[in-house]
Structure 1
Amino acid sequence: MATPNEKLAASLHVLKSLQDKGIQVIQASEAPELTRVHRERLQAAGFLKPVIQGWLLPSNPEEGDGDSTHWYASMEVFVAAYANARFDDKWQLSPELSLLKHSGHTSVAKQIQLHSPEASNKHQDLPHGCSLFMYKVKPQTLVGGRSPGASGLILVPLPEALIRVSPSFFTGHELAAQVALRQVDITTLTGLLLEGGHSVVAGRMAGALRAAGREADASQLVATMKAAGYVVSENNPFERPLAHIGGRLNESPYVQRMRAMWSSMREEVVQRFETVPRRQHTEVQELLADIAARYVADAYHSLSIEGYRVSIELIEKVHNGDWSPLTSEEDRKTRDAMAAKGYAETHKHLREFIGQVLSSSKSPAVAFKEDFSRWYVALFSPSVTAGILRPRDLAGYRNSQVFIRNALHVPPGPDAVRDCMPALMELLQEENHPGVRAVLGHFMFVFIHPYMDGNGRLSRFLMNYMLTTGGYPWTIVTVQSRSQYLAALEQASTYGNIKPFADVICGLIEAQAAQPIERITQRPDAGDWTKPLT
């Protein structure tokens, strides 16, 4: 008789055979080989989770019941598979959600609305408070030439989506509308407006284009409509002036979104830094000694935030050179030790680099661009040496999609990362306030998530590099502030609200400038940043 483990292995083999066929979403009625016995066994072991009746998703048995990460990562793929099963290809997303996708908006939409002539205005609850509404439309509402995106969702093409969204979209999703207006081809847009006789919409489009900086195209649109006999009354659907984006009109929507966020967020950060103590460095070695004194606490908190089980003893062991993967089997195999070793190497490199920058006339942002790749290599080379990672993992930016645990924000895809990182470097070089470079640089780095691992640690290194080269103290994001810190990052990433994140970071700077964090995780020789220089 087969053992329970052997039975589970047999069920996993069936599941793997489905996944090998490219099946990511399982419709029980279409997968007869995955019998009820197999499904129940895999669900009990945590390898399958039901979504709605008759539909399941493969899952990670290590995830708890309240963990939304896998669902958020799979939701769009599930909705696309479910819609294809019900409506074949006779469906599309709503114009509003289509436009959000075209504009580089990557956060999870907890409510998805799709349109189909075969729908019946049905609402379907989905896991973790999400839902799907299938709205019945006339057959002619479906747009020709529509095609599925990366997740399989069928989008309304950009020009049609701009024409079809309601005026409220321009105020409710101002950034998405602005990016879309900068991308749209004016000839295609004008042709669709003429073909449909959309004189009222043409007035709105002209006003919106002018507000987005496309004055010549707005005038051309109005003149063309009038030449065709239409009466056009131009009106601006935006309620306030738009953020400055700059760059090319046809630039990546992800880059345009980054530029607009930086432009709209920076003033809030500048205002928050008005109360943060700052001093100009007169003695580089004093600063470097202070940074070194804060190392143990910094490593403990930064690694603990990321979920590594790192003790003060381990950090001291690595720092003092007592960690030896060549002679100690335990040291060689410990993932946490690799993280601590990499952190120590990066911290040491960064201290030396800060000293070099402050001793030169080079701009901190320019120097960062030239040196940054070394930070990632230093952080993960110990794991490569120990055989935990492959050498090619040090090559550069990620080549697959990444998701942040329990976050609605989904970082841009791997192709977009190649556009976003140079844009971040440009934004840092264009910014003259070191506090803004630190806070928005940290936020934008996490927003992009350029690597498969290490993004949080590298973003905090970036923050502290910009702080210390700008006259502020090396600041530790503590384990105690973790929940507030992560919630603030989510607010900025998903809702465009930078104030909570600026408050968290500036509050930590103020507190630690006056008094380094307690001795339990802090070396006693760290300096007091409110003390006058002598």
Structure 2
Amino acid sequence: MRVALSMLRDASEVLGPLLSGGHSTVAGRLVGAFRNIGRRKIADDILASMQAAGYDVRESDPFEAPSPLPLLSKEISPSVNWLRILWESMREPVIKHFPPSPGSVKNIEGYVKQIEEIYVTDAYHSLSIEGYRVSPGLIDRVRQGSWNPDVNDSDKAHKDALAARGYWQAFQAVKQSIQKILAGECAGGVADDDHSRWYRELFAPSVEAGLCKPSDLAGYRNGSVFIRRSKHVPLSHAAVRDAMPAFFDLLRNERDAAVRVVLGHFIFVYIHPYMDGNGRIGRFLMNAMLAGGGYSWTVIPVEKRADYLSALEAASVDGDIVPFAKFIASCVNAKVQPVAGK
């Protein structure tokens, strides 16, 4: 059984059936088994995802003793080498066209306060880029807790409100991740550990409202995904499970903050690991990397959506990262006006 478990690369390979069937007992045994063979992250992701869907999971180790030897995973996808080549080929153009790191943040409390103050503006633009019809008033109502699907049927059925609530929850999780980064933890390592939580928080309200299935919280996609009006075809779902650990290794080992910012965002959406939410999480990831480099939280304005997508397309299809590096740099250097309205 240990050998079979060692062949799995990511929790999403087993979470779908566990969540769909509500198999909390089996989940508990799998959590213990994965922890036994040294796959802590898979164990933690199974546990957190089941709990996020409302299941009570009791961890238990089905083995009598720890694994006597480290178990090797199956051979990796060729996509991993392509990803490494892509990263290396894009590093220097990014460094050339992106402002250098301002250095580590000295006033952590002040930095976090600025993040909190920009929330409504950030949520409005990020959600609007994805096509949600949200207003600053709705976003603020969600933040203040006056959005209540338990007593208000219109709130429960309103997908835009659910998206806003999910964004609020994910934003809080990202803020906690950034606080760890500002305290000195490796930005790439924190993102690796925490991005699955960002995803779960983003869609948890829709699951609770019954608009999404619990299995939608399973994590990385188990099928193909296509991007509207784009020539880019994301990696196959099988390749995703090899590509994501390789991506986070690159992010963790990258010494240049500018490269972490630009390629962190780009490569994430290039892989497109989830069925939905890739853009929002990609921008969260970008801002986590910005914090690690001492840059300010940056909003990509919905008014520049066409330029944003065009730059991503040039990088994804033509391999030209320069337009995207320049675009993100322009957003970092710009000051987006706070949104107002009801």
Q: TM-score range by the shorter chain?
A: 0.7 to 0.9
Displacement of 1:251 in angstroms is 4.7
- 2:128 is equivalent to residue 304 of structure 1: yes
Q: Are the structure 2 counterparts of residues 520 and 373 from structure 1 closer, same or farther at C-alpha, using a change threshold of 3 Å?
A: closer
Richer in helix (by share): 2
Measure, in 1, the Cα distance between the counterparts of 2:163 and 2:281. Answer: 12
Task: Name the counterpart of 1:422.
Answer: 245
Q: Are the structure 2 counterparts of residues 277 and 466 from structure 1 closer, same or farther at C-alpha, using a change threshold of 3 Å?
A: closer
Task: Name the counterpart of 1:282.
Answer: 106
Task: Name the counterpart of 2:196.
Answer: 373
Measure, in 2, the Cα distance between the counterparts of 1:507 and 1:298. Answer: 16
Q: Which deviates the most, 333-342 or 362-371?
A: 362-371
Q: Which amino acid aligns with 2:263?
A: L
Tell me if the contact between 1:280 and 1:471 (Cα under 8 Å) persists in the aligned partners: yes
Displacement of 1:492 in angstroms is 0.3
* Structure number with bigger Rg: 1
Task: Give SS of 2:168's match.
Answer: helix
Tell me if the contact between 2:139 and 2:164 (Cα under 8 Å) persists in the aligned partners: yes
Measure, in 1, the Cα distance between the counterparts of 2:114 and 2:300. Answer: 17
Measure, in 2, the Cα distance between the counterparts of 1:436 and 1:521. Answer: 33
Tell me if the contact between 2:240 and 2:271 (Cα under 8 Å) persists in the aligned partners: yes
Tell me if the contact between 2:177 and 2:191 (Cα under 8 Å) persists in the aligned partners: no
Measure, in 2, the Cα distance between the counterparts of 1:427 and 1:280. Answer: 21
- 2:272 is equivalent to residue 449 of structure 1: yes
2:329 aligns with one of 506, 509, 513? 506
Q: How does 1:54-453 map to 2 (within 5 A)?
A: 251-274=76-99, 278-359=102-183, 361-453=184-276
Displacement of 1:355 in angstroms is 1.3
Measure, in 1, the Cα distance between the counterparts of 2:174 and 2:208. Answer: 21
Measure, in 2, the Cα distance between the counterparts of 1:346 and 1:461. Answer: 9
Task: Give SS of 1:492's match.
Answer: helix
- 2:288 is equivalent to residue 465 of structure 1: yes
Displacement of 1:273 in angstroms is 2.2
Task: Give SS of 1:260's match.
Answer: helix
- 2:339 is equivalent to residue 520 of structure 1: yes
Measure, in 2, the Cα distance between the counterparts of 1:489 and 1:357. Answer: 26
Instruction: Give the 4+ runs in structure 1 shifted more than 4 A.
Output: none
2:303 aligns with one of 464, 480, 488? 480
Q: Which runs of 5 or more structure 2 residues have no equivalent in the other structure? A: 1-74
Q: Are the structure 2 counterparts of residues 508 and 349 from structure 1 closer, same or farther at C-alpha, using a change threshold of 3 Å?
A: same
Task: Give SS of 1:518's match.
Answer: coil
Displacement of 1:352 in angstroms is 2.1
With structure 1 as the length reference, what TM-score do the two structures score? 0.49
Measure, in 2, the Cα distance between the counterparts of 1:300 and 1:435. Answer: 25
Measure, in 2, the Cα distance between the counterparts of 1:490 and 1:319. Answer: 33
Tell me if the contact between 2:101 and 2:258 (Cα under 8 Å) persists in the aligned partners: no
Q: Which runs of 5 or more structure 1 residues have no equivalent in the other structure? A: 1-249, 523-534
Displacement of 1:277 in angstroms is 6.8
Measure, in 2, the Cα distance between the counterparts of 1:251 and 1:329. Answer: 48
Task: Give SS of 1:310's match.
Answer: coil
Q: Which amino acid aligns with 2:186?
A: S
Tell me if the contact between 2:296 and 2:332 (Cα under 8 Å) persists in the aligned partners: yes
Tell me if the contact between 2:118 and 2:338 (Cα under 8 Å) persists in the aligned partners: no
Measure, in 2, the Cα distance between the counterparts of 1:465 and 1:277. Answer: 14
Q: Which amino acid aligns with 2:164?
A: A
Q: Which amino acid aligns with 1:489?
A: L
Tell me if the contact between 1:342 and 1:380 (Cα under 8 Å) persists in the aligned partners: yes
Number of positions where the alignment pairs a residue of Structure 1 with one of Structure 2: 267
Task: Name the counterpart of 1:101.
Answer: none
Q: Which amino acid aligns with 1:254?
A: S
Measure, in 2, the Cα distance between the counterparts of 1:450 and 1:520. Answer: 31
1:492 aligns with one of 274, 297, 315? 315
Richer in strand (by share): 1
Measure, in 2, the Cα distance between the counterparts of 1:277 and 1:430. Answer: 16
Displacement of 1:297 in angstroms is 0.7
Measure, in 1, the Cα distance between the counterparts of 2:187 and 2:101. Answer: 20
Task: Name the counterpart of 1:49.
Answer: none
Displacement of 1:283 in angstroms is 1.5
What do residues 342-381 of structure 1 show as CA deviations (whole Å, max 9, x unaligned)? Answer: 000011111122113322x321111221222111111111
Displacement of 1:280 in angstroms is 2.7
What do residues 95-131 of structure 1 show as CA deviations (whole Å, max 9, x unaligned)? Answer: xxxxxxxxxxxxxxxxxxxxxxxxxxxxxxxxxxxxx
Tell me if the contact between 2:98 and 2:326 (Cα under 8 Å) persists in the aligned partners: no
Displacement of 1:264 in angstroms is 0.5
- Among all aligned residue pairs of Structure 1 and Structure 2, give the percentage whose two residues are the same amino acid: 48
Displacement of 1:472 in angstroms is 0.3
Measure, in 2, the Cα distance between the counterparts of 1:290 and 1:427. Answer: 29
Displacement of 1:279 in angstroms is 4.2
Q: Which amino acid aligns with 2:131?
A: G
Displacement of 1:320 in angstroms is 1.0
Task: Name the counterpart of 2:44.
Answer: none
Measure, in 2, the Cα distance between the counterparts of 1:442 and 1:472. Answer: 15
With structure 2 as the length reference, what TM-score do the two structures score? 0.76
When the two chains are superposed, the root-mean-square deviation of aligned CA atoms in Å is 1.5
Tell me if the contact between 2:177 and 2:288 (Cα under 8 Å) persists in the aligned partners: no
Tell me if the contact between 1:296 and 1:521 (Cα under 8 Å) persists in the aligned partners: no
Task: Give SS of 1:347's match.
Answer: helix
Measure, in 1, the Cα distance between the counterparts of 2:339 and 2:142. Answer: 18
